[in-house]
């Protein structure tokens, strides 16, 4: 009893001293132990149960998802005291373990009433690294040994500071292979490689880099893989059959071919156009989904991850456990996209609060939450690409550094809250991109022309990253699934002639465009098309037969005011602006034998006005024959309407000839040249080898690591999987390509086995075979190479790590 009396008396004295200000409360020795024992498990470190963190005084005062838990100076109104004294098992805190003694409760009451005194600088967990927001232009160190590239100046100083040697340079053959695979995703062709190796010019490597980047088609079709992964775009898979997902392939391909500036690229994805909206819309999953998988939340997650390297998935369910992002911030970003009210949910439980549209970095400005959705998106796009948003530029240059050098300056690339191993390098690359008007090719050129990029790859031990990363040169990278497949197709000459991506490949010369003459005529259902009624519809049909499947086919179409094009029972294209004709790839739509085209054109406006539609296709067959299908009086029209696949439930009985519109001069004057140019590009441009990036995913590419792209994939796995090993050893797809390729290669009638082996090593590895390799090749091929022998040699070369890596 005496001990209890003395403890109570001491406690009264302590509380009296606190309130009187005579003896300040000892935060470190009286309060911290109580919080550690009863609160730390759920509310300190990375734990934020209910959104409440006690790491710092500011965190505690901020409260949790249900509001403030302490009011400094007023313990009676503080929810914390109510929770620790509650006898309700559903409300009491802590929810398990020992209850707080009356003495500890009294201590906490006194602490709160005293205004929450907190030792300066104390935190249960120190705050993580917070990256700078605004750009920073570092001062470049002096050049050493004539190495003037800014990347080298920064890295040479970095290595000198750590008393580390500069990595040794690579030879020309290794550089040529590395640059080709990194910049355009292809192996250097043997003839081009020999020419490069024989060139004695001091600037030949820089010229090669510029030449590769200037190859717009090869560049676009290589980087299409990178952007498809990062923007989760694909040509098949979840959502496409049900209409819950939309491709951005046509927009993305043109953006890459035309080298659209990155700031404009991002703006068109955020404040989207009809062609680019698939990124923002995400996937509309069938059935019920969690609150963290709605299109609005997907938008926030995708924008944060793709453009800022921020993980908002955790913060879409509750305040993040891994970084500083909060549930309200994630829902705020989602609310910018939402077209109605968006209720906050924590762990799928509605909170009864409506999200307010908001931008993650209000220091740069804010989004007007009351503005219409299109205007909110424009404001977000402007803030994302704001000149002072250094995070936007740092994120993409870090991704490009990773792609070329094998490891990010910030690593992983989606953890941009992490401190970079070189602030100066990251910041310089970011301001360099902005200085060059957001031209991503300039960033690639800067890196690829540096001595650092042209250095020998770092040799890694098993624990390379476990003890902290230190720059020691570029790192070898696995070929992507698409790069590996393209390399096989290149060497064997077995690339397909048709592809799946609905894109118009490449560019054409001005001469080809000038020589293109349109055969098509504007048509309608009656002669008085100049006074067509508003809403009047033309349904026109053309049937034709092809002797073989096309190897090249493209079309153009336009209508005043709109059209939908169906080919062989599928919707192929649509347009609603006659001044912006549509270019339409057709290879994958047409077939050998009978084909059918259905055009549904609709007149717009408020009253009688001119109406018309035009379509022309040029189809090249394997024997070189070119078939032209163009709208004219030979097309048939009907009053019947087709279904969503362009099919008629009952064959129309009222077919009649379509009518060539007599007053089409205005349309031709405005868009005739554009129609001819787009048709020339779509149908007659000389086409390089079809690329794997243009093909739907198949079993072989999945085994090699190509993702389904239902989620954003910024970095593919680097480890060899059991499935991949099995498929490389026994897969039928690869075996068939090697068999077909062996026949093609042997048809060239090589003068000797040595010449064949030398050619193969030059093509596959960009070097001549060693004496041991040549001896083995002779043994495999024999004096008279056979198909089986060459298949075995092809397989042996392609299974080497040297072939499967960019080194």
Distances in Å between the alpha carbon of 549 and those of 71, 495, 544? 76, 16, 13
Kindly report the number of other CB atoms within 10 A of residue 649's CB atom: 8
Is residue 1 pLDDT above 70, yes or no?
Answer: no
Mean pLDDT within 441-458: 97
Confidence of residue 461 (pLDDT cuts 50, 70, 90): low
List CB contacts of 748: < 8 A, sequence separation 6 or more.
none
Indicate the burial class of 289 (C-beta count within 10 angstroms; 0-12, 13-18, 19 or more): middle
3-state class of 779 per DSSP? helix
Confidence of residue 464 (pLDDT cuts 50, 70, 90): low
Q: What does the pLDDT read at residue 234? A: 96
Q: What does the pLDDT read at residue 41? A: 83
Distance from C-alpha of 29 to C-alpha of 723, rounded to nearest angstrom: 58
For residue 688, give the nearest of 512, 518, 506 by alpha carbon. 506
The residues facing 562 across adjacent strands are 602
Is residue 9 pLDDT above 70, yes or no?
Answer: no
Helix orientation angle between 249-257 and 262-270, rounded to the nearest 10 degrees: 170
Is residue 214 pLDDT above 90, yes or no?
Answer: yes
Kindly report the number of other CB atoms within 10 A of residue 521's CB atom: 21
**Which is more confidently placed, 369 or 500?**
369
Q: What does the pLDDT read at residue 561? A: 87
Q: What does the pLDDT read at residue 7? A: 37
CB-CB contact of 302 with 229 (8 Å): no
Is residue 108 pLDDT above 50, yes or no?
Answer: yes
Mean pLDDT within 284-306: 92
Distance from C-alpha of 351 to C-alpha of 603, rounded to nearest angstrom: 48
For residue 333 the two structure tokens come to 């970003």
CB-CB contact of 376 with 357 (8 Å): yes
Confidence of residue 95 (pLDDT cuts 50, 70, 90): confident
Distances in Å between the alpha carbon of 367 and those of 263, 272, 380? 18, 16, 6
Q: What does the pLDDT read at residue 123? A: 81
For the stretch 164-170, contacts whose Cβ atoms lie closer than 8 Å and that sit 24 or more positions apart, written own/partner, are: 164/470, 164/472, 166/451, 166/455, 167/452, 167/455, 167/456, 167/458, 167/472, 167/473, 167/474, 168/455, 168/456, 169/451, 169/454, 169/455, 169/456, 170/454, 170/455, 170/456, 170/457
Mean pLDDT within 581-595: 90
The residues facing 557 across adjacent strands are 582, 615
Q: What does the pLDDT read at residue 686? A: 64
Q: What does the pLDDT read at residue 685? A: 60
Q: What does the pLDDT read at residue 24? A: 65
94 preceded by a cis bond (ω within 30 of 0): yes
Mean pLDDT within 527-531: 90
Backbone φ, ψ for residue 31 (5° rounding):
-90, -45
Confidence of residue 467 (pLDDT cuts 50, 70, 90): low
Is residue 13 pLDDT above 80, yes or no?
Answer: no
Lowest mean pLDDT segment, chosen from 116-130, 191-205, 338-352: 116-130
Distance from C-alpha of 246 to C-alpha of 240, rounded to nearest angstrom: 7
CB-CB contact of 48 with 318 (8 Å): yes
CA atoms within 13 A on the CB side of 504: 25
Confidence of residue 96 (pLDDT cuts 50, 70, 90): confident
CA atoms within 13 A on the CB side of 681: 20
Confidence of residue 684 (pLDDT cuts 50, 70, 90): low
Q: What does the pLDDT read at residue 91? A: 83
Is residue 14 pLDDT above 50, yes or no?
Answer: no
Q: What does the pLDDT read at residue 787? A: 95
Domain boundaries, the chain: 2-113, 510-684, 722-806
For residue 734 the two structure tokens come to 């690869």
H/E run at residue 336 = helix 327-337
Lowest mean pLDDT segment, chosen from 411-415, 532-536, 553-557, 580-584: 580-584
Q: What does the pLDDT read at residue 47? A: 77
Is residue 23 pLDDT above 70, yes or no?
Answer: no
**Which is more confidently placed, 289 or 303?**
303
For residue 800, give the nearest of 773, 774, 781 by alpha carbon. 773
Mean pLDDT of the chain, nearest integer: 91
- Using one digit for the tens of pLDDT, what is the confidence trace for 394-430? 999 999 999 999 999 999 999 999 999 999 999 999 9
Lowest mean pLDDT segment, chosen from 39-43, 74-78, 132-136, 647-651: 39-43
Mean pLDDT within 21-33: 74
Residue 309 backbone class (left: φ over 0; alpha: ψ -120 to 50; beta: rest): left
Q: What does the pLDDT read at residue 15? A: 38
3-state class of 620 per DSSP? strand
Distances in Å between the alpha carbon of 525 and those of 476, 725, 766? 63, 60, 61
Backbone φ, ψ for residue 144 (5° rounding):
-120, 130
DSSP assignment of 354-412: E-----S-GGG----TTS-HHHHHHHHHHHHT-TT-HHHHHHHHHHHHHHHHSS-SSSS
For residue 433 the two structure tokens come to 């991109």
Q: What does the pLDDT read at residue 510? A: 72
Mean pLDDT within 646-669: 91
Confidence of residue 463 (pLDDT cuts 50, 70, 90): low
**Which is more confidently placed, 764 or 2?**
764
CA dihedral 210, 214, 220, 225 (to 10 degrees): -10
- Using one digit for the tens of pLDDT, what is the confidence trace for 716-766? 988 888 888 888 888 899 999 999 999 999 999 899 999 999 999 999 999
- Using one digit for the tens of pLDDT, what is the confidence trace for 371-390? 999 999 999 999 999 999 99
- Using one digit for the tens of pLDDT, what is the confidence trace for 746-758? 999 899 999 999 9
CATH number of the domain at 510-684, out of 1.10.540.10, 2.60.120.260, 3.40.1390.10, 3.40.50.150? 2.60.120.260
Distances in Å between the alpha carbon of 127 and those of 45, 340, 413? 9, 36, 21
């Amino acid at each position: 009893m005496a001990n209890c009396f003395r403890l109570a008396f001491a406690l009264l004295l302590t509380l009296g001293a606190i309130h009187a200000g005579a003896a300040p409360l000892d935060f470190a020795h009286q309060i911290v132990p109580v919080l550690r024992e009863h609160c730390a498990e759920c509310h300190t470190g990375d734990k934020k149960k209910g959104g409440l963190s006690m790491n710092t005084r500011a965190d505690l005062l901020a409260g949790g998802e249900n509001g403030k838990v302490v009011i400094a100076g007023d313990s009676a109104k503080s929810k914390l005291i109510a929770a620790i004294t509650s006898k309700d098992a559903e409300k009491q805190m802590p929810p398990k373990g020992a209850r707080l003694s009356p003495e500890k409760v009294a201590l906490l009451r006194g602490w709160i009433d005293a205004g929450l005194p907190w030792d300066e600088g104390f935190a249960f967990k120190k705050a993580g690294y917070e990256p700078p927001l605004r750009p920073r232009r570092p001062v470049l160190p002096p050049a050493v040994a004539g190495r003037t590239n800014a990347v080298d100046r920064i890295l040479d100083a970095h290595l000198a500071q750590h008393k580390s040697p500069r990595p040794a340079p690579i030879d020309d053959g290794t550089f040529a292979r590395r640059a080709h695979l990194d910049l355009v995703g292809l192996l250097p062709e043997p003839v081009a490689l020999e020419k490069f190796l024989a060139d004695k010019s001091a600037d030949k490597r820089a010229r090669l880099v510029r030449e590769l980047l200037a190859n717009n088609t090869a560049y676009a079709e290589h980087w299409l893989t990178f952007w498809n992964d990062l923007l989760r775009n694909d040509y098949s898979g979840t959502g496409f059959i049900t209409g819950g997902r939309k491709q951005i392939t046509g927009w993305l391909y043109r953006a890459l071919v035309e080298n659209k500036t990155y700031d404009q690229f991002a703006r068109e994805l955020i404040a989207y156009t009809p062609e680019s909206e698939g990124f923002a819309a995400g996937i509309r999953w069938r059935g019920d989904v969690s609150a963290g998988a709605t299109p609005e939340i997907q938008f926030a997650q995708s924008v944060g991850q793709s453009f800022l390297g921020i993980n908002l998935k955790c913060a879409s369910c509750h305040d993040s456990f891994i970084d500083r992002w909060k549930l309200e911030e994630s829902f705020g970003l989602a609310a910018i996209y939402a077209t109605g009210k968006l209720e906050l949910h924590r762990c799928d439980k509605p909170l009864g609060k409506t999200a307010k549209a908001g931008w993650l970095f209000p220091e740069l400005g804010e989004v007007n939450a009351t503005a219409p959705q299109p205007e909110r998106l424009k404001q977000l796009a402007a803030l994302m690409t704001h000149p002072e948003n250094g995070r936007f530029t740092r994120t993409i240059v870090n991704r490009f550094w990773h792609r070329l050098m094998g490891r990010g300056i910030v690593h992983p690339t989606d953890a941009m809250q992490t401190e970079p191993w070189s602030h100066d390098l990251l910041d310089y690359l970011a301001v360099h991109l902005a200085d060059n008007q957001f031209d991503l090719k300039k960033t690639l050129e800067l890196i690829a022309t540096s001595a650092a990029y042209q250095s020998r790859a770092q040799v890694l031990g098993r624990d390379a990253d476990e003890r902290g990363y230190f720059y020691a040169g570029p790192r070898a990278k696995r070929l992507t699934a698409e790069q590996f497949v393209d390399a096989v197709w290149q060497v064997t000459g077995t690339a397909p002639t048709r592809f799946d991506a609905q894109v118009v490949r490449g560019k054409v010369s001005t001469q080809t465009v000038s020589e293109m003459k349109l055969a098509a005529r504007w048509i309608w259902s009656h002669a008085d098309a100049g006074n067509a009624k508003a809403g009047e519809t033309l349904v026109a049909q053309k049937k034709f037969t092809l002797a073989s499947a096309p190897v090249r086919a493209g079309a153009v179409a336009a209508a005043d005011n709109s059209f939908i094009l169906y080919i062989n029972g599928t919707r192929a294209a649509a347009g609603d602006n006659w001044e912006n004709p549509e270019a339409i790839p057709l290879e994958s739509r047409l077939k050998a034998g009978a084909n059918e085209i259905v055009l549904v054109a609709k007149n717009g406006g408020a009253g009688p006005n001119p109406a018309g539609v035009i379509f022309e296709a040029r189809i090249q067959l394997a024997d070189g024959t070119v078939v032209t299908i163009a709208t004219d009086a030979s097309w048939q029209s009907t009053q019947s309407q087709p279904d969503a696949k362009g099919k008629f439930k009952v064959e129309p009985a009222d077919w009649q000839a379509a009518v060539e519109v007599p007053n089409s001069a205005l349309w031709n004057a405005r868009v005739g040249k554009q129609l001819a140019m787009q048709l020339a590009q779509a149908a007659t441009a000389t086409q390089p080898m079809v690329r794997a990036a243009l093909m739907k995913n198949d079993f072989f590419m999945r085994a090699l690591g190509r993702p389904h792209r239902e989620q954003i994939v910024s970095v593919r796995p680097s480890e060899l999987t059991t499935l991949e090993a099995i498929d490389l050893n026994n897969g039928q797809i690869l075996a068939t390509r090697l068999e077909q390729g062996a026949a093609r290669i042997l048809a060239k009638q090589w003068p000797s086995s040595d010449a064949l082996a030398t050619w193969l090593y030059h093509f596959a590895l960009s070097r001549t075979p060693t004496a041991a390799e040549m001896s083995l090749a002779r043994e495999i091929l024999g004096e008279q190479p056979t198909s089986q022998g060459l298949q075995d040699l092809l397989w042996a070369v392609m299974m080497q790590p040297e072939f499967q890596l960019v080194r």
